[in-house]
A and B are shown apart, each in its own frame.
Chain A
Amino acid sequence: MFPLLYCEFLKLKRSKMFLISVLGAMVAPIMVFAGLIKAKISEPDKIITYLDMLEQTNLYVLLLFGVIVYGVIAAFLFSREYTENTLKLVLTVPVSKGAFLITKLLMLFLWMMILTAVAWVSTLVLSIVGNAAEFNVNVIIQSLEEYFLGSFLLYFSMSPFVFLTLWHKNLVSPIIAAATVVLGNVALANQDLAVLFPWTSPYLIASGDIAKYHYSIETALVIIFAVSVIGFFASFIYFKKQDVK
């Protein structure tokens, strides 16, 4: 599995996609930073803390921008093998379809974690630049936990995007699906049903906000797990049965 994963990294050499995704991960921190600057100008007395900065960024990443960026990455990882016509060569090496799929999913996980780290570090740096208040080691550690737990859970909700990509073999459908999910996240904000929506609940669980809702953490976790398993098995079965043209 390691050579396959290593090759996935080699495939990204000179790829603009990695740079674009890093820039995408920095959008939320920059937006929050812009909010901080605006607040400092319009309300000079208002105190904006590191906690505010880190929490707001995580909210934007997990509920809005992250879903689209991670969805596009999932789609890119799989669709490029179709659009660049490389799948037939990889499979005749031979690499088994199962190993191929698992490697791509592992790569997606690592990529998401890298972008989470980029978002976290960017927020921290911009908080320092923006002279945010109340620096606290506990806040930093807690935010780190929240960022990575949220992304970890969101990763499990990405398998339907993988299936869509394998099915349609392009980027368009997964992007439309990701945009729809983001709209769903917005529509369900502050509603009980948000806990049952597997792309909203990762943030609620990571931030601890789920305690404010009627449904339990277990319910949310079961739904995330079910979506993940359904998406993965659908992808696996479809990919395994499908002829490579």
Chain B
Amino acid sequence: MQYVIKTNKLTKQFGEQIAVDCVNIHVPQGKIYGLLGRNGAGKTTTIRMLLNLVTPTRGKILLFEKEHRKKSKEIYHRIGSMIELPGFYENLTGSENLQIFARLRGQHKKDSVQNALKIVGLDQETKKTFGNYSLGMKQRLGIAAAIMHEPELLILDEPTNGLDPVGIQQVRKYLEMLCLEKGITILISSHILSEIEQLADIIGVMHQGRLIEEVAMQELHQRNRQYVEFEVSDENKACLLLEEKFGFKDYSVHENGSIRLYSNLEMRAKLNGCFVENGISVSKINIREEKLEDYFSKLIGGGELVPSTLL
């Protein structure tokens, strides 16, 4: 498989603190890679190292299968990026700002600025200067700057921060279109699970500077199991029955008398009858699928990812 981004033991240390610890990322060509993690997990530092803004303490970065510091000009012309809240010159309009970056880049089509503004819905804002933009408009302009030269690789750090739900959906659709129709590889970081879940082909989970999981979305969905959930009056007695009478050990106990059984789901009616016969009242029976957020929550040791947005 050809990797557009590949890192080997990428590490960044700020004084005593290790911000990124031996990270091995593999981003295949033409895929959307979602880098997921809580705030402070090391996502932004990793992205800054990929973009040559931060010097790694150790490790190697290969972009388009070339060492990132060698022929960096040639490599970075093929990349579009946006890191956190984008910055532009406040006294200039969106179009004037993009003109500057187009000139700095040197290679651009005549209508590239206007096209990029149209895509993000800022083509009508001809008079407003960047200083008077709303947070959402600033974010859109950042995305426009990242895509205007039609890069082969897009690196976006929390690109939907500050966007309204409709804006988030538009950006998501546009990124999907870029990947599917133009074959652009995208690395997108976020702490919002639903954003990554809906978009990414591959997910990398960062926690405390380490990449603790790198898995294809398809595989992840297969891993997530269905279970039947009983809400009972006496969970200890119910567990005893599950083990002694039925020999089931594939279950877990949760808050408020909730028991999750992960196998023999078809036995739920029989189990319900058994509980009632033994004086245990069952207030709820549900068949559920373990959500990704639970999976990630377990993965990062109970930490909180933002589960969803208003998508």
Interface residues of chain A, those whose CB is within 8 Å of chain B, are 3-4, 6-7, 10-16, 80, 84-96, 241, 243-245
Tell me which of B55, B76, B89 has the highest count of chain A C-beta atoms within 10 A of its own C-beta.
B89
Stretch from B21-29, B92-100, B256-264 forming part of the interface with A: B92-100
Stretch from B77-85, B205-213, B224-232 forming part of the interface with A: B77-85
Once A10-B96, A10-B100, A85-B87 are accepted as A-B contacts, the answer to whether A94 and B77 lie under 8 Å apart by CB is yes
Known A3-B106, A13-B92, A245-B54; 9 more pairs at CB < 8 Å: A3-B104, A13-B91, A84-B88, A85-B85, A85-B86, A88-B83, A94-B72, A243-B48, A244-B48
| A to B CB contacts below 8 Å, 12 in the list | A4-B104, A7-B104, A10-B92, A10-B100, A13-B91, A13-B92, A13-B96, A87-B87, A88-B87, A91-B52, A93-B105, A244-B54
Q: Which residues of A contact B89 (CB under 8 A)?
A: 11, 80, 84, 86
Q: In the assembly, what is the distance between CA of A85 and CA of B139, in Å?
A: 13
B12 CB, nearest partner CB in chain A, Å: 9
Q: Which 4 A-B residue pairs are closest in the complex by CB-CB distance? A: A85-B87, A94-B76, A244-B53, A243-B54
Once A15-B91, A85-B85 are accepted as A-B contacts, the answer to whether A243 and B73 lie under 8 Å apart by CB is no
Q: In the assembly, what is the distance between CA of A90 and CA of B76, in Å?
A: 11
Q: Decide if A95 touches B88 in the complex (CB within 8 Å).
A: no
Q: Decide if B91 touches A14 in the complex (CB within 8 Å).
A: yes
Q: In the assembly, what is the distance between CA of A4 and CA of B54, in Å?
A: 23
Interface residues of chain B, those whose CB is within 8 Å of chain A, are 48, 51-55, 72-73, 76-77, 79, 81, 83, 85-92, 96, 99-101, 103-106, 129, 145
Q: In the assembly, what is the distance between CA of A85 and CA of B96, in Å?
A: 16
Q: In the assembly, what is the distance between CA of A90 and CA of B83, in Å?
A: 12
Q: In the assembly, what is the distance between CA of A4 and CA of B104, in Å?
A: 6
B53 CB, nearest partner CB in chain A, Å: 4
B49 CB, nearest partner CB in chain A, Å: 9
Q: Decide if B103 touches A3 in the complex (CB within 8 Å).
A: yes
What is the chain B residue whose CB lies nearest that of A91?
Answer: B53
A173 CB, nearest partner CB in chain B, Å: 21
Q: Which residues of A contact B83 (CB under 8 A)?
A: 88
What is the chain B residue whose CB lies nearest that of A17?
Answer: B91
Q: Which residues of A contact B79 (CB under 8 A)?
A: 92
Q: In the assembly, what is the distance between CA of A7 and CA of B53, in Å?
A: 21
Q: Decide if A6 touches B91 in the complex (CB within 8 Å).
A: no
Q: Decide if B53 touches A92 in the complex (CB within 8 Å).
A: yes
A164 CB, nearest partner CB in chain B, Å: 22
B209 CB, nearest partner CB in chain A, Å: 16
Find A7's partner among B52, B85, B100 (CB 8 Å cutoff).
B100
Q: In the assembly, what is the distance between CA of A199 and CA of B280, in Å?
A: 90
Q: Decide if B87 touches A89 in the complex (CB within 8 Å).
A: yes
Q: Which residues of B contact A89 (CB under 8 A)?
A: 86-88, 101, 145
Q: Which residues of A contact B105 (CB under 8 A)?
A: 93
A96 CB, nearest partner CB in chain B, Å: 8
Find B129's partner among A11, A14, A94, A241 (CB 8 Å cutoff).
A14
Q: Which residues of A contact B77 (CB under 8 A)?
A: 94
Q: Which residues of A contact B76 (CB under 8 A)?
A: 92-94
What is the chain A residue whose CB lies nearest that of B49?
Answer: A243
Q: In the assembly, what is the distance between CA of A90 and CA of B91, in Å?
A: 17
Q: Which residues of A contact B129 (CB under 8 A)?
A: 14
Q: In the assembly, what is the distance between CA of A91 and CA of B53, in Å?
A: 7
Q: Which residues of B contact A84 (CB under 8 A)?
A: 87-90
Q: Which residues of B contact A11 (CB under 8 A)?
A: 89, 91-92, 100
